[in-house]
């Protein structure tokens, strides 16, 4: 008998209508622990260089991890996977919420979706009763409405839902998958692939439950953690002000991406901060499954000119940056509206915001004009234009059609030197973290298998000095703090170690706001939790190896798909000076950066082109 | 000196976010904060007169100290 996971994956073929199951051995689960590890395990033999991401040959995965569903907090993560239409390589995107725990409660560790349906469908999973249901009446509708209809027609308000909006139906490259209206598998184009399969939603109701080895221990740790985290500054900050608690700090430090990464400081940072949100439009502090931290926001606006429905939650830091400071918009009401629209239409707020910001810069520089913008004065700060473009992108209409392909493609179309400030890596737009003030984040954007991504490793502003935070992760092998502005071997090692740890958290299904170093749960306590769930004897060393395996596996898939070192270029703008803020004049040093990347490759046992050596692949069982 | 501090670092519910204190001599930021009872400073960034500094920098009576959290994501 397996504990902490069921040992089975649901397998659905939308072309043939077949519904089956795939067994998951203990050996495989111990090797990968879930998440992107399982994505690798199945994706590696399913796609090749020639696979069109929108074809029926490209599978789509919904994977949980060993921790998903343990009722402690942070244990909510789901990882989606596919061949990404954005990067053409190993694609994953993770989300919190309730879908992963519900899927596990239904007795499944994940879902493998193959093929493509002729007509719109949705998947209804009630434990092991699984149906492919007609969704013709849902096609063309937004996530909010579809959520209500599916719950109503199945007479069950407690169903959990992964959905695509019109952006996914129209295969907008960065369409995302929205979970229960408030959480997003935002990146890498999961919604576009789901749309190409004509799969409108996955609706889940689980009643079987998860079999844990030591339930008493889990209850003990859960109770302890709920109390312990309360007065810790991070938990407190997240509870009070959400992920946007740091907007003012980022701004004062000169690392708040502003006006398409031209600037590092935004004059209206205070107006769009988590603190202002708490004082104005916040109505509730929400949470993912069983989480006492409650960092999720719920906002509501009922003004004559702007209304925002609380059922879509509220904007997080990434959305506030991408729709706010990046577009020079200092109006929280408008940002909340943009968030609501993106969640309803199913658009990644980061890529959408960066694409619009890019277009605003192109307009201000005269690279595009009113003929292209459909008469709109597309200057930075134009609130109406922001909201119009979100809609147009989801419908692939006018300028929105160009921007729906992301900034890499848009720069090719616009020309005029705009590629210099097209802020992407491997085709994926940069998240709201400024590499010129966090050099390790720049390394991360470059080497990440999924393109620019802030979720790969702890950022270098996190452990900048000796003290409790460094002490909390010494057992993972980290023995030095990081200077955010430094390059070199130490920085490469800091990043690599933290990437292994966060890689493991992704695989095991844990939110990185909970365990050390970012969160307050000590590493050994987290090990106790995993072992109580599984009955295993997992150690930090084993977890670091699992994380390393996930990173190397993703790299191997990418190289096999033709995504190699030549795709690791950072946007040229990062080698140019920031134009304002505390870091005015700072730019990245390309030679030092390339040298640091070599240290990083060496750390992992990859060759100087970044490909894992035979010895490394063998050591990791790949 | 004036100290402006995010309430996430304040343990007491009635603590003030903005306070003015008199220093008898220039001191390290970390010592000043400890004297006013602020100890739990994980995720804090320190700014003296709007310039980013670290907790061991020396502050003087005429300075303004700001303490803000650094966290992002989502
Ligand atoms: S800390 Fe926030 S994001 Fe993480 S599980 Fe808890 S509520 Fe969700």
Q: Which two tokens stand for residue A167?
A: 């952006």
pLDDT (mean) for B46-52 = 91
CA-based nearest residue in chain B for residue A467: B42
Residue pair A425/A446 in contact (Cβ under 8 Å)? The answer is yes
State pLDDT tens for residues A424-482: 999 999 999 999 999 999 999 999 999 999 999 889 888 988 888 899 999 999 999 99
Return the CA Rg of chain A: 22
- Once rounded to an integer, what is the mean pLDDT over residues A269-283? 97
Q: What is the mean pLDDT of residues A600-616?
A: 98
The position carrying tokens 């690392």 is A255
| Residue showing tokens 């209500």 | A148
Please tell me the least confidently modeled range out of A125-139, A299-313, A400-414, B51-65. B51-65
Q: Does A252 contact chain B (CB < 8 Å)?
A: yes
Which ligand 1 atom minimizes the distance to the CA of A76? 5
> Chain A closest CA to B44's CA: distance in Å?
9
Q: Read off φ and ψ for residue A469, nearest 5 degrees.
A: -70, -40
Where does the pLDDT of residue B7 fall: very low under 50, low under 70, confident under 90, or very high at 90 and above? confident
Task: Count CB neighbours of A132 within 10 A.
Answer: 17
Residue A388 contacts residue A377 (beta carbons within 8 Å): no
Residue B12: predicted pLDDT = 67
B39: confidence class by pLDDT, cuts 50, 70, 90? confident
pLDDT digits (tens, 9 = 90+) for A223-236: 999 999 998 888 99
Give pLDDT, residue B15: 66
Q: Report the topology of domain B2-69.
A: Ubiquitin-like (UB roll) (3.10.20)
Would you say A242 and A298 are in contact if contact means Cβ atoms under 8 Å apart? no
Under a CB-based contact definition with an 8 Å cutoff, are residues B41 and A232 in contact?
Answer: no
Domains of chain A are 8-205 (3.60.9.10), 237-429 (1.10.569.10), 439-619 (1.10.599.10)
Eight-state DSSP code of residue A175: B
For residue A156, give both structure tokens.
């069950």
What is the sign of the dihedral through the CA atoms of A318, A324, A325 and A326? Answer: positive
Report, as an integer, the average pLDDT of A156-170. Answer: 98
Q: How many CA atoms lie within 13 A of A542 on its CB side?
A: 14
Q: Which ligand 1 atom lies nearest to the CA of residue A74?
A: 5
Dist. CA A270–CA A272, nearest whole Å:
5
Q: Where are the domains of chain B?
A: 2-69
- Residues A477/A544, Cβ–Cβ less than 8 Å: yes
Q: Do A582 and B51 touch (CB under 8 A)?
A: yes
Q: Do B72 and A317 touch (CB under 8 A)?
A: yes
Q: How far does the centroid of ligand 1 lie from the alpha carbon of residue A238, in Å?
A: 9
Closest CA to A420 of A573, A568, A569, A567: A573
| A303 contacts A239 by C-beta, under 8 angstroms | no
Report pLDDT for A344: 98
> Residue A231's pLDDT is what?
84
Q: With an 8 Å Cβ cutoff, are A318 and B73 in contact? A: yes
Alpha helices in A404-466 (DSSP H): 406-414, 439-447
State pLDDT tens for residues A589-599. Answer: 999 999 999 99
Query: What is the least distance, in Å, from the CA of A253 to any CA of chain B?
Result: 6
pLDDT tens for each residue of A492-539: 999 999 999 999 999 999 999 999 998 999 999 999 999 999 999 999
B72/A236 touch (CB, cutoff 8 Å), yes or no: no
**Mean local confidence (pLDDT), A405-418:** 98
Cα torsion angle, A324, A326, A327, A330, sign: positive
Higher pLDDT, A165 or B16: A165
Q: Rounded to an integer, what distance in angstroms lies between the CA atom of residue A345 and that of residue A166?
A: 5
Q: Determine the Cα–Cα distance for residues A231 and A417; give it in Å rounded to an integer.
A: 50
Shortest CA gap A238–chain B (Å): 8
* Closest ligand 1 atom, residue A235 Cα: 1
Closest by Cα among A143, A185, A145 to A164: A143
Question: Which tens digits make up the pLDDT trace of A329-375?
Answer: 999 999 999 999 999 999 999 999 999 999 999 999 999 999 999 99
Mean pLDDT (chain A) is: 97
Q: Give pLDDT tens digits for A94-141.
A: 999 999 999 999 999 999 999 999 999 999 999 999 999 999 999 999
Full-prediction pTM beyond 0.95? yes
Residue A215, H or E segment:
helix A215-228
Q: Does the CB of A238 have a partner CB in chain B at under 8 Å? A: yes
Q: What is the pLDDT of residue B70?
A: 84
How would residue A92 be classed by pLDDT, with cut points 50, 70 and 90?
very high
Q: Would you call B8 and A241 a contact, using CB atoms and an 8 Å cutoff? A: yes
* Nearest by CB: B8 against A236, A252, A433: A236
Give whole-number Cα distances, A308 to A334, A347, A464, B43, in Å.
9, 17, 39, 32
% of chain B at pLDDT higher than 70: 95
Tell me the pLDDT of chain B averaged across its residues.
88
Of A233, A247, A252, the CB nearest to B66: A252
Outline where A418-522 has alpha helix (H). 439-447, 468-471, 488-508
Torsion, CA A513, CA A216, CA A543, CA B69, rounded to 10: 20
């Amino acid at each position: 008998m397996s504990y902490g996971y069921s040992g089975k994956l649901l397998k659905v073929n939308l072309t043939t209508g077949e519904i089956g199951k795939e067994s998951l051995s203990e050996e495989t689960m111990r090797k990968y622990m879930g998440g992107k590890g399982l994505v690798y395990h199945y994706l590696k033999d399913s796609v090749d260089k020639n696979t069109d991401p929108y074809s029926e040959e490209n599978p789509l995965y919904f994977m949980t991890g060993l921790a998903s569903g343990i009722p402690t907090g942070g244990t909510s993560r789901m990882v989606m996977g596919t061949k990404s239409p954005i990067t053409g390589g190993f694609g994953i995107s993770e989300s919190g919420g309730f879908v992963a725990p519900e899927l596990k409660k239904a007795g499944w560790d994940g879902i493998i979706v193959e093929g493509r349906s002729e007509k719109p469908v949705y998947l209804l999973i009630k434990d092991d009763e699984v149906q492919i249901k007609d969704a013709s009446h849902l096609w063309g509708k937004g996530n909010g409405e579809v959520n209500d209809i599916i719950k109503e027609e199945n007479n069950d308000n407690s169903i959990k839902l992964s959905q695509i909006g019109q952006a996914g139906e129209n295969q907008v490259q960065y369409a995302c998958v929205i979970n229960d209206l408030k959480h997003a598998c935002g990146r890498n184009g999961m919604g576009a692939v789901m749309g190409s399969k004509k799969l409108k939603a996955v609706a889940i109701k689980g009643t079987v439950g998860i079999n844990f080895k030591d339930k008493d221990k889990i209850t003990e740790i859960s109770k302890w953690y709920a109390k312990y985290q309360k007065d810790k500054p991070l938990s407190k900050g997240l509870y009070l002000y959400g992920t946007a608690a740091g907007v003012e700090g980022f701004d004062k430090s000169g690392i708040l991406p502003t006006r398409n990464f031209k600037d590092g400081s935004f004059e209206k940072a205070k107006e769009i901060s988590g603190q202002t949100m708490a004082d104005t439009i916040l109505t509730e502090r929400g949470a993912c499954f069983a989480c006492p931290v409650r960092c999720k926001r719920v906002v509501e606006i009922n003004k004559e000119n702007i209304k925002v429905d609380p059922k879509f939650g509220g904007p997080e830091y990434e959305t506030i940056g991408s729709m706010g400071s990046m577009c020079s918009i200092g109006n929280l009401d408008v940002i909340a509206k943009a968030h609501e629209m993106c969640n309803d239409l199913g658009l990644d707020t980061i890529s959408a915001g960066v694409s619009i910001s890019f277009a605003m810069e192109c307009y201000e520089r005269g690279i595009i004009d009113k003929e292209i913008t459909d008469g709109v004065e597309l200057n930075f700060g134009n609130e109406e234009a922001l909201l119009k473009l979100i809609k147009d992108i989801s419908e692939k209409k006018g300028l929105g059609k160009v921007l729906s392909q992301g900034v890499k493609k848009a720069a090719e179309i616009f020309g005029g030197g705009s590629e210099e400030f097209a802020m992407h890596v491997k085709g994926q737009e940069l998240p709201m973290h400024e590499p010129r003030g966090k050099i390790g984040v720049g390394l991360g954007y470059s080497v990440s298998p999924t393109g620019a991504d802030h979720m790969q490793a702890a950022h270098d502003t996190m452990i900048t000095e000796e003290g409790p935070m460094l002490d909390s992760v010494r057992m993972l092998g980290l023995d030095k703090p990081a200077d955010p502005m430094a390059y070199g071997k130490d920085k490469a090692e800091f990043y690599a170690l933290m990437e292994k740890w966060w890689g493991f958290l992704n695989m095991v299904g844990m939110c990185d706001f909970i365990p050390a170093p970012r969160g307050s749960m000590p590493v050994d306590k987290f090990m106790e939790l995993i072992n109580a769930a599984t009955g295993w004897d997992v150690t930090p060393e084993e977890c670091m190896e699992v994380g390393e395996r996930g990173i190397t596996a993703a790299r191997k898939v990418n190289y096999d798909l033709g995504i190699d070192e030549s795709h690791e270029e950072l946007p040229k703008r990062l080698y140019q000076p920031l134009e304002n803020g505390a870091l005015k004049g700072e730019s990245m040093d390309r030679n030092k950066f390339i040298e640091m990347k070599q240290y990083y490759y060496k750390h992992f046992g990859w060759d100087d082109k970044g490909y894992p050596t035979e010895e490394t692949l063998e050591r990791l069982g790949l | 000196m004036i100290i402006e501090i995010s309430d996430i670092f304040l343990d007491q519910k009635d603590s003030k976010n903005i306070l003015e204190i008199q220093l008898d001599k220039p001191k390290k930021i970390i010592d000043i904060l400890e004297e006013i009872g602020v100890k739990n400073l994980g995720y804090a960034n320190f700014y003296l007169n709007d310039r980013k500094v670290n907790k061991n920098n020396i502050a003087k009576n005429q300075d303004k100290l700001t303490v803000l959290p650094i966290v992002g994501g989502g």
